[in-house]
Chains A and B, each alone.
Chain A
């Protein structure tokens, strides 16, 4: 099974330009596949742990980081049955002037992160991640 084909099916959408699939079981948070040329492959194991933590209350007040870049949590349904997605947006600063949208999907063993292109609406990034998450969950992945 090639995880790269999952990545390309995400990035082929005109609204998504970077994606990564990482393991999320504790101790096995490694990158399974990532888009070439993107920076999502640098998401660390600690960041994955923070994203899937069972205590969600600190996520909103403190935000999350992806590969060291700070993001604000907009909508969190990562642990909600039937949704399992989370929408976040990058915080802007002088180094990062564009607020990119991200959607994170959680399957049984992995998390999928997709990055929207500049000015992509969050509603364009969410559906492909949601569909893929649902598909992998059905396969017990």
Chain B
């Protein structure tokens, strides 16, 4: 994530989580990626420059680079990235590996169905022996951002203001359900809407992570009404208990049929995304895929997600199929599984044959990436 400021001649970028949270006038908050693929190349280059100067602190020409990419990355973008890497940064060797393959390696497997539920998309990607089967990729837009939006609507209905912490100078304890008492910081710079929205979203995402729970069987009003309530306090001091909403909101991920605003759309629930993806693959490899369903992505950390998914898949999978769900317990491992897989892959002896060297790039051009990085 980066923030940028318009100056007359060029743009300056503020990069990294610490710089991100400082309120500055006129600074927009952008992501260089769209749909998992690089869209804003200047911002991407600024991030790479920042990484080399502030974190790696070494010359780019001294270190081979293994980079992950979205499994549906377009050929033009791959070639453009390869060209940037070799021509601009003079990197000695390069390899582009799909995130799903790296996630599978991070979980100790070369074959499996990778279910990645992040902020923007929930995707099922079949991986066979270290290769992505592109025809089996199934995407759904019902993921973290969808849940955030549903939470925001809930707060609007309950008349709760999501006040982000950067605005609050001090707050006083209030009774449960009473309007919050807080004082605004003075001398706040005029921040942009995109930045402010992001800060509000962070508050909602914290609520999402701590309060919401996925019901282990399809949502039932009576059952939900008897759920134990969870107490949550907003940064502004407003606090209340949440009961049935805890189960109702994430239900949309697994059963989109009842979600407001989605009716009429043929959206797939998470269970269906998995089974549809496996159904598009070669019959002989399907048992291997059902036997290794790898769950990854920040959105899957919702309480009860993996148990519900297990239940859904055991109902939908063919009866003779052995089903096994693999999910790391730590949140770091689930959110960064592709990086972990990349570090494993780059250390393997068998990987050393796979690099695209500078010499191969000079001879074969940027098209080499399509040949050598399947």
Contact = CB atoms under 8 A, between A and B. Distances in A.
8 contacts: A60-B136, A63-B283, A63-B284, A72-B133, A75-B131, A123-B374, A126-B374, A127-B371
A15 B353 contact: yes
A87 B281 CA distance: 15
Q: Is the interface of A mostly helix, strand, loop or mixed?
A: mixed
Interface of A: 15, 60-63, 70, 72-76, 83, 87, 89, 91, 99, 119-124, 126-127, 130
Given A60-B136, A72-B284, A99 B129 contact: yes
A32 B303 CA distance: 61
Contacts of A89: 128-129, 131
Label chain B's interface by main secondary structure: helix
A120 B285 CA distance: 21
Interface in B337-354: 350, 353-354
Given A74-B131, A89-B128, A123 B373 contact: yes
B353 A74 contact: no
Nearest to A123: B372
Given A119-B350, A122-B131, A123-B354, A73 B282 contact: yes
Given A61-B282, A63-B284, A72-B284, A126 B128 contact: no
B240 to A, nearest CB: 51
A72 B282 contact: yes
Given A89-B131, A99-B129, A63 B371 contact: no
Interface in B268-305: 280-285
Counting chain B CB atoms within 10 Å of each CB, which of A72, A89, A99 scores highest?
A72
Nearest to B374: A122
Given A15-B353, A74-B133, A60 B364 contact: no
B40 interface: no
